Amino acid sequence: MLRPLIALDWGTTRARAFLIAATGEVLERRVADRGIQSVAPGGYPAAFAELAGDFRAAAPDAVIVLAGMVGSRNGWVEARYVACPASAADIAAAAIEVELDAGTRATILPGLSCDDGAFDVMRGEETLIVGLGLTDGIVCLPGTHSKWAEIRQGRITRFASFMTGEVYGLLRNDSILARLAEAPSEADATEGAARGRAAADRPGGLLNAAFAARTEVLAGRMAGGAVGPYLSALLVGRELAGAEALFGLGTQVHLVADGVLAQSYGAGLAARGHAVRVVTPEQAFIAGIGRLASGLAA
Amino acid sequence: MLRPLIALDWGTTRARAFLIAATGEVLERRVADRGIQSVAPGGYPAAFAELAGDFRAAAPDAVIVLAGMVGSRNGWVEARYVACPASAADIAAAAIEVELDAGTRATILPGLSCDDGAFDVMRGEETLIVGLGLTDGIVCLPGTHSKWAEIRQGRITRFASFMTGEVYGLLRNDSILARLAEAPSEADATEGAARGRAAADRPGGLLNAAFAARTEVLAGRMAGGAVGPYLSALLVGRELAGAEALFGLGTQVHLVADGVLAQSYGAGLAARGHAVRVVTPEQAFIAGIGRLASGLAA
């Protein structure tokens, strides 16, 4: 890459903007609550200027690449999903261009679709996966709707989504368990997580194990502070069991996460006997967007 | 039973009151939104009079028996849980008496507890289970928090709860899937249920299969009207798979349900190869309370 890069990870609720030197070094970064749901039709050039206008002033020759929901039907312009299996070159080849202002173009990357029995889609995660530079491997991207992907011979062959983060929020905050849940002490967090991980393998399954949080607390056998950590570890454990059944997981899982998600998924994977390599979402995005931008230039 | 019976199934949100002749015939029935959460401390005799005062006037010599949450810590008086395994005689023996007014007593039935790895409790369902009169069998009582129970040699040996109905409500009404869900046509209901039943056995598990409702609708491969029926059948299917793993289920399941729950659980059980005997909650309650009242008299 001989030119600098202005790269946006432009999602539904948030946008992350980066100014990246031709060397690959991140010179500037910014995050703003300017996801596509806050942008009116026709408002994208102005929103871009707000997010990264100063990056353009600093690097007028920069290549501009946008990833994520900005390329969805509800975004700037729809960049159609690329069907798996797909390589980085396939993704770059399906990118589309928009005019930012007279004479300046930006590239919008497409998402991926997968029809592996159930139909599934992703937008934005494909860039992070590409950033890992894998030839073969299994990638976990935890979140509200976690994604797991399989890479074989340099192509993303298939992937699957899990509603883990969203179901956690519903159970923790909106179910009958919410009344019993309290802010966890450090001991509650440790105990709740250990019990949740164990409960994930109980034969009754998630619907049975989730209810146990209630009865255990009412019986005085679990602290109210352990309810949240219990549910989190239970749900992560069920996701991991599902991913094992779908993908095998093999010797090592590439975990794209930081903070509490890196911790909880790391602990869950370790408890199930999987080696883990952790890459932060920013590292993966920067590497992925650089790789895809090179593909665009080629 | 030589005396008539006034029996209340007195739950958290609702109370059902029955006047039952000495012959076992139901002479009067009533349901009211007068669950224990609507009754202030000290207000139970007045609430009872409101619910069944005319039954007492009609049958002044009636035995009065109350089942359900009325015997919980937040009810009239706490009737401690009887630990499984427990027979009808064990339940009757642990009933406690309260004074309704001078000279008139009522009996409050206890609930059951089970410590089969995970601790679990029930209040009210034990009466319905007793009403089935089983020596050996597996009972399913679907609902917001479904219960499954195993009966061996005339005793309830163990049971388990599933958050099925509550999780259905959360996913259908409060999750990202709610925006896509529409009122189902008859065809949507049939198609959604068939697909949900099939999805319950996918290797990715519940968190993965629930998300598929979103991607299938967005891809135009499933109608918005099928989302609710899909989720319902998926969750019932996961509950049934959990119950199979916990209890085996054997040749026949005794299903205590009516209306849509009898239909959806009956279809789910049939699809998994289990024969089903359906008993309505009222039939089971009337038979159970009669059996337990006989135990009290003995």
pLDDT of residue A153: 97
Using CB atoms within 10 Å of the CB of residue B265, give its burial: 0 to 12 exposed, 13 to 18 middle, 19+ buried. Answer: buried
The span from the CA of A143 to the CA of A164, in Å, is: 7
Q: State whether residue B246 sits within 8 Å of chain A by CB.
A: yes
pLDDT, tens digit, 9 for 90 and up, residues B86-126: 999 999 999 999 998 878 899 999 999 999 878 999 999 99
What is the distance in angstroms between the Cα of A113 and the nearest Cα belonging to chain B? 10
CA distance A283 to A269: 21
Task: Calculate the alpha carbon distances from B110 to A143, B34, B68, B138 in Å.
Answer: 43, 20, 8, 21
Nearest C-alpha neighbor of B41 from the set B66, B72, B16, B74: B74
Q: Are B242 and A208 in contact (CB < 8 Å)?
A: yes
Whether the CB of B201 is below 8 Å from some CB of chain A: the reply is no
Res B297: pLDDT: 55
| Strand, coil or helix: B112 | strand
Flag whether pLDDT at B298 surpasses 90: no
Chain-chain contact of A202 with B117 (C-beta, under 8 angstroms): yes
B198 inside 8 A of chain A by CB: no
With a cut of 70, say whether residue B222 has pLDDT above it.
yes
Provide the pLDDT confidence category of residue B296 given band limits of 50, 70 and 90: confident
Residue in B142, B214, B206 with CA at minimum distance from that of residue B178: B214
CA–CA dist B156, B129 (Å, integer): 8
Q: How many CB atoms lie within 10 A of CB A228?
A: 25
Which residue from A119, A167, A203 is facing B221, i.e. has the nearest CB? A119
Would you call B249 an interface residue with chain A, using a CB distance cutoff of 8 Å?
A: no
Contact A121 B219 (CB under 8 A): yes
* Alpha-carbon distances of A8 from A69, A77, A89, A96, A145, rounded to whole Å: 11, 15, 19, 15, 20
Residue among B160, B176, B221 whose CB faces A204 most closely: B160
Confidence of residue A110 (pLDDT cuts 50, 70, 90): very high
pLDDT at position A103 is: 83
Q: Closest partner residue to A204 among B174, B212, B242, by Cβ?
A: B242
> What are the structure tokens assigned to B254, written together?
């005794």
**CB spacing of B207 vs A162 below 8 angstroms:** yes
A250: left (phi over 0), alpha (psi -120 to 50) or beta: left
Q: What are the pLDDT digits (tens) for A118-139?
A: 899 999 999 999 999 999 999 9
Q: Would you say B278 and B261 are in contact if contact means Cβ atoms under 8 Å apart?
A: no
pLDDT band, very low/low/confident/very high, at B2 (cuts 50, 70, 90): confident
- In this prediction, residue B250 carries a pLDDT of 78
pLDDT tens-place string over residues A167-215: 999 999 999 999 999 999 999 999 999 999 999 999 999 999 999 999 9
Verify whether the Cβ–Cβ distance B238 to A120 is below 8 Å.
Answer: no
The pLDDT of residue A297 = 55
Mean pLDDT across B158-164: 97
Q: What is the pLDDT of residues A228-280, one digit of tens each?
A: 999 999 999 999 999 999 999 877 999 999 999 999 999 999 999 999 999 99
Give per-residue pLDDT as tens, A27-85.
999 999 999 999 999 999 999 999 999 999 999 999 999 999 999 998 999 999 999 99
Quote the pLDDT of residue A116.
83
Structural domains of chain A, with CATH: 5-134+281-297 (3.30.420.300), 164-279 (3.30.420.310)
**Per-residue confidence band for B186, with pLDDT thresholds at 50, 70 and 90:** very high
Q: Does B118 contact A209 at a Cβ distance shorter than 8 Å?
A: yes
Nearest to B230 by CA among B162, B263, B181, B159: B181
Q: Is the peptide bond before A85 cis (omega within 30 degrees of 0)?
A: yes
Q: Which chain B residues in 145-174 lie under 8 Å from chain A, judged by CB atoms?
A: 145, 160-164, 166-167, 170-171, 174
Neighbours of A61 (CB within 10 A): 9
Q: Give the closest residue to A250 by CA, choosing from A134, A145, A142.
A: A134
Q: Tally the residues of chain A.
A: 298
Asked if A216 and B118 come within 8 Å (Cβ–Cβ), the reply is: yes
Q: Does A93 touch chain B (CB under 8 A)?
A: no
Residue B207 near chain A (CB below 8 Å)? yes
Contact B119 A206 (CB under 8 A): no
* pLDDT score for B117: 78
B289, B107 Cβ separation under 8 angstroms: no
- Residue B295: pLDDT above 90? no
Question: Rounded to whole angstroms, how far apart are CA atoms B243 and B240?
Answer: 5
Tokens 């199979």 belong to which residue? B244
Chain B interface includes A63 (CB < 8 A): no
Q: Do B140 and B256 contact (CB within 8 A), yes or no?
A: yes
Nearest CB partner across the interface for A211, out of B163, B175, B241: B163
From A174's Cα to the closest Cα of chain B, the distance in A is: 8
State the average pLDDT for chain B.
95
Query: Region B10-34: what's the mean pLDDT?
Result: 95
Give the ipTM of the model, two decimals please. 0.94
What DSSP string runs through chain A?
--S-EEEEEE-SS-EEEEEE-TTS-EEEEEEES--GGG--TT-HHHHHHHHHHHHHHH-TT-EEEEESGGGSTTSSS--PPEESSEEHHHHHHT-EEEEEETTEEEEE---EEEEESEEEEESSHHHHHHHT--SSEEEEE-STTEEEEEEETTEEEEEEEE-HHHHHHHHHHHSGGGGT--PPPHHHHHHHHHHHHHHTT-TT-HHHHHHHHHHHHHTTSS-GGGHHHHHHHHHHHHHHHHHHHHH---SEEEEE--HHHHHHHHHHHHHTT-EEEEE-HHHHHHHHHHHHHHHHH-
Under 8 Å between Cβ of A148 and A139: yes
* Residue A265: per-residue pLDDT: 97
Tens of pLDDT, residue by residue over A231-242, are 999 999 999 999
* Cα nearest neighbour of A162 on chain B: B208
β-sheet bridge partners, residue B119: B115
Contact residues on chain A for B239, CB-CB shorter than 8 A: 205, 207-208
Element (H, E) at B167: helix B164-174
- The answer to whether A245 and A254 have CB atoms below 8 angstroms apart is no
